[in-house]
Amino acid sequence: MLTRIPLLLIPLILFNIGLFGMAGAAPFTQTLFSVQMMSGGTWAMSWGDLLVLIALLLLFVEIMKSTRSGAASIVDHLLSTLVFVAYLVEFLMVAGASTSLFFTLMVIALIDVMAGFSVSIRTARRDIGLG
């Protein structure tokens, strides 16, 4: 049952916790840590960068989940589509979500939807060709 939950819902929830839980603050621009590089430059990771990294890792897992076949994959694709729609509605309707960070998370959710359907169509075409 837990495998059917779209994992890209996690970054959406984390973003909303940061957005609404830190009223007025900009938690995603705050530096999480920084590292002095050998070149003399400084590499810094913000909370927003970490959120995108988490979303990309979850996208990888979601794409692996989309390679399964059967009725469960249809439910997975439907739920992933609903998560993307939630991102889109929030992006359009919530002022705090009109950031490049949230737009990037929304595009990651769109890639999940497109990859899921593409993998399913390709798998179905292969199954039909063998039959």
What tens digit of pLDDT does each residue of 12-67 get? Answer: 999 999 988 876 557 898 999 999 999 999 999 999 999 999 999 999 999 988 88
Its domain, for residue 78, covers 2-130
Task: Yes or no: say if 54 and 10 are a contact pair by the CB < 8 Å rule.
Answer: yes
Total tally of structural domains belonging to the chain:
1
Flag whether the pTM goes above 0.85.
yes
Backbone angles phi, psi at 36, to 5 degrees: -80, 125
